[in-house]
Amino acid sequence: MSQAGLAGVTLGVLADQVGMSKSGLFAHFKSKEEVQIELLEHSAEFAAARVVAPAMRAEEGLPRLQALVANWFGWPRRNGLPGGCPVAAGFFEYDDVESPVRDKILEMESEWRGLLTALVRQAVDRGQLRRDLDVAQFIWELSGIYLSHHVASRFMRSPDADKRSDIAFAALLARAAPAPADKRRKRTK
Amino acid sequence: MSQAGLAGVTLGVLADQVGMSKSGLFAHFKSKEEVQIELLEHSAEFAAARVVAPAMRAEEGLPRLQALVANWFGWPRRNGLPGGCPVAAGFFEYDDVESPVRDKILEMESEWRGLLTALVRQAVDRGQLRRDLDVAQFIWELSGIYLSHHVASRFMRSPDADKRSDIAFAALLARAAPAPADKRRKRTK
Contact A92 B88 (CB under 8 A): yes
Contact B137 A3 (CB under 8 A): no
Q: Would the CB atoms of B92 and A83 count as touching at under 8 Å? A: no
Chosen for mutation from A9, A96, A166 (greatest number of chain B CBs closer than 10 Å) is A96
Backbone angles phi, psi at B164, to 5 degrees: -65, -40
Q: Is B70 on the interface with A (CB under 8 A)?
A: no
User: pLDDT tens across A116-127, in order?
Assistant: 999 999 999 999
| Residue B45 sits at the chain A interface (C-beta within 8 Å) | no
* Residue B111, CA distances (Å) to A41, A149, A180, B104, B118 in order: 38, 19, 43, 11, 11
Residue A61 gets the label, from left (phi > 0), alpha (psi -120 to 50) or beta, of left
pLDDT higher than 50, residue A189: no
What residue ranges define each of the domains in chain B, with the CATH number in brackets? 34-188 (1.10.357.10)
What was the pLDDT predicted at B1?
67
The candidate with the shortest Cα–Cα distance to B140, out of A155, A119, A124, is A155
Spans in chain B with pLDDT lower than 70: 1-15, 18-20, 22-23, 25-26, 182-189
Q: Quick check: B92 and A144 CB within 8 A?
A: no
Could you tell me the pTM of the whole model? 0.89
pLDDT digits (tens, 9 = 90+) for A26-48: 677 778 889 889 999 999 999 99
The pLDDT tens digits for A74-108 are: 999 999 888 899 999 999 999 988 999 999 999 99
Do the Cβ atoms of B83 and A106 come within 8 Å?
Answer: no
Q: What is the predicted pLDDT for the residue at B2?
A: 66
Ordered alpha helix ranges (H), chain A: 11-18, 22-28, 32-47, 53-56, 62-72, 75-78, 86-93, 100-125, 135-150, 161-175, 180-188
User: In whole angstroms, what is the distance from residue B93 CA to residue A89 CA?
Assistant: 7
Which of A83, A95, A136 lies nearest to residue B96, judging by beta carbons?
A83
Three-state DSSP class for residue A2: coil
